[in-house]
Amino acid sequence: MSEKKILLLGSGYVAAPAAEYIVRRPENKLTIASRRLENAEALAKQFPGSTAVSCDITNQQAIEDLVAQHDLVISLIPYIYHADVIKAAVKHKKNVVTTSYVSPAMMEYDQAAKDAGIIVMNEIGLDPGIDHLYAVRTIEEVHREGGKMNEFISFCGGLPAPENSNNPFGYKFSWSARGVLLALKNTARYLENGKVVEVSGPALMDSARTLNTGYPGYAFVAYGNRDSTPYDKRYNIPEASTIIRGTIRYDGFPQFVKALVSLGFLDDQEQPHLLASAAEISWKDVVAKAAGTTDTTPEGLEAAIIAKAELANHPRKAAILDGMKWLGFFSDVKVTRRGNLLDTLCATLEEKMQYEEGERDMVFLQHRFEIELKDGTKQTRTSTLVEYGKVGGYSAMAKTVGVPCGIAVQLILDGKITQTGVIAPMTSEINEPIIELLEKEGIGMVEKIL
């Protein structure tokens, strides 16, 4: 086999499973590039024969120089830089793989990529990625048999395994706390019973609903994620009256977050008392200001929080207040001042809500299809993925994002994926070979007719 040179931009936690899959083939020569050379070297050490280099992703010339030397580039850097990578790949006629959603900036290179004869494969991780593979498979099967899709509902979440969900959020951070919290301010749009529903960021947690997964052992709630309305075209289901894609969390998460929002803790407006130059300040004083009281006794703070967050008759009042105690809101502990309430809270969350040694994460993804068969019979189908991280090995999230990415890379190198342009896994021609290899790795969705 002729040697293939692959460039991996980024050395974050989903990079290792992708790299491991790629270096199984001896003809694949992997270069790992990271802004900090030591990070790239640490990853390259795990995969004999791979090379580490330093690359400043804000430097277009540096990206171009690296891309020019390789046959394919995997971009696992922040999505805002993918367009720069694609620009370099078009110029040097190199294929690209990312796990990110296709952004408008990336889509601008679609025609240029086609003209250059290159494949720019995106959305091939978990969500987006595995979700597309199995949604498209069922939808195409139903259409082939003359049926139609009345409803498509899909929810996904990366969470601590139940035994490690031991904090008031039932959540732990494997990436930036700020990113997780800011996502809660995004407006969600989806199609429900033929009408477009728009839920503004402030109302997002109120819209969370109990999710009936068919697995009673999981007490999940779910809320809309971003904009689901383009999926009538993306999934070729113009007939569907309901299309919802969303996020899952353990029950209790939305209620606790909503109380924090009421107190202003998702606000990134600068606050003079939280600037690094200000005097040291305790949590109880920060919370008193946020709740609009001067009484910093535990009883006074509790009364002010109950009033401001409207918890008086809330069924979870005790759990929410316990959660605030756990965060240190009633204490003399000095806060890490980061200029505003959001980032000051994030400093504490990042300290208290990391995965500890010996803990594992979990990924849960489920599609629910309400189908009308050719003869008019109604049918409900589900596709479900439950994956647990391995203690001492890869997290469930790293594995379910990194492995599909590695598989897509290999299929492109082998000439099994040939569609040029800026693409995502939206057809069986692309998806079925990926599903086949994914299931060989023990990753796949269990499909049921209820």
Cβ atoms within 10 Å of 372's Cβ, excluding its own: 16
| Confidence grade of residue 202 (pLDDT, cut at 50, 70, 90) | confident
pLDDT value at position 359? 95
- The yes-or-no verdict on residue 128 having pLDDT over 90 is yes
**CATH number for the domain that contains residue 106:** 3.40.50.720
Per-residue tokens: 150: 């009345």
* CA atoms of 444 and 153, how far apart (whole Å): 18
| Residue % of the chain over a pLDDT of 90 | 88
Per-residue tokens: 346: 């994030």
Indicate whether 15 and 119 sit together in one domain. yes
| Confidence grade of residue 183 (pLDDT, cut at 50, 70, 90) | confident
- The yes-or-no verdict on residue 184 having pLDDT over 90 is no
The mean of the pLDDT values for the chain is 94
pLDDT in tens, 277-307: 999 999 999 999 999 999 999 999 999 999 9
Q: How far is CA 166 from CA 220, 355, 393, in A?
A: 15, 11, 21
- The yes-or-no verdict on residue 315 having pLDDT over 80 is yes
Q: Residue 321 is inside which H or E element, if any?
A: helix 317-327
CB 355 within 8 A of CB 160: yes
Angle, vertex CA 11, rays to CA 8 and CA 15, nearest 5: 70
DSSP single-letter state for residue 425: S
CB 152 within 8 A of CB 237: yes
Nearest to 382 by CA among 303, 288, 447, 336: 447
Indicate whether 165 and 252 sit together in one domain. yes
DSSP single-letter state for residue 186: S
Catalytic-labelled residue, pool 84, 127, 131, 361: 127
> How many structural domains does the chain have?
3
Q: Answer yes or no: is 92 within a domain.
A: yes
**Average pLDDT of the residues in 34-53:** 92
**Average pLDDT of the residues in 391-395:** 91
| Residue % of the chain over a pLDDT of 70 | 100
| Confidence grade of residue 64 (pLDDT, cut at 50, 70, 90) | very high
**CATH number for the domain that contains residue 292:** 1.10.1870.10
285 an active-site residue?
A: no
Nearest to 47 by CA among 19, 70, 68: 19
| Confidence grade of residue 390 (pLDDT, cut at 50, 70, 90) | very high
Domain that includes residue 148, residue range: 130-256+356-388
- The yes-or-no verdict on residue 26 having pLDDT over 90 is yes
- The yes-or-no verdict on residue 177 having pLDDT over 90 is no
pLDDT value at position 386? 97
Indicate whether 51 and 72 sit together in one domain. yes
Indicate whether 28 and 119 sit together in one domain. yes
pLDDT value at position 201? 83
**Average pLDDT of the residues in 393-417:** 96
**Average pLDDT of the residues in 398-424:** 97
Indicate whether 51 and 105 sit together in one domain. yes
What 3-state class would DSSP assign to 13? coil
Q: Answer yes or no: is 449 within a domain.
A: no
Q: Compute the Cα dihedral for 63, 67, 69, 72 and give only its sign.
A: positive
Q: Answer yes or no: is 138 within a domain.
A: yes
- The yes-or-no verdict on residue 188 having pLDDT over 80 is yes
* DSSP per position, 269-337: S--GGGSTTSPP-BHHHHHHHHHT-S--SHHHHHHHHHHHTT-TT-TTHHHHHHHHHHHTTTS-PBP--
Per-residue tokens: 273: 């008392």
* DSSP per position, 156-218: EEEEE-GGG--STTS--BSS-HHHHHHHTTS-EEEEETTEEEEE-GGGTGGG-EE---S-TT-
DSSP single-letter state for residue 226: S
Instruction: Determine the distance from the C-alpha atom of residue 26 to the mean position of all C-alpha atoms in its chain, rounded to a whole number.
Output: 32
Indicate whether 252 and 277 sit together in one domain. no
Q: Residue 119 is inside which H or E element, if any?
A: strand 119-121
Q: Answer yes or no: is 448 within a domain.
A: no
**CATH number for the domain that contains residue 198:** 3.30.360.10
pLDDT value at position 410? 98
Instruction: Determine the distance from the C-alpha atom of residue 136 to the mean position of all C-alpha atoms in its chain, rounded to a whole number.
Output: 20
pTM higher than 0.85 for the full model? Answer: yes
**3-state DSSP helix/strand/coil % of the chain, to nearest 5:** 40, 25, 40
- The yes-or-no verdict on residue 86 having pLDDT over 80 is yes
* CA atoms of 116 and 191, how far apart (whole Å): 37
pLDDT value at position 394? 94
pLDDT value at position 180? 84
pLDDT in tens, 344-387: 999 999 889 999 999 999 999 999 999 999 999 999 999 999 99
What 3-state class would DSSP assign to 379? strand
Cβ atoms within 10 Å of 419's Cβ, excluding its own: 12
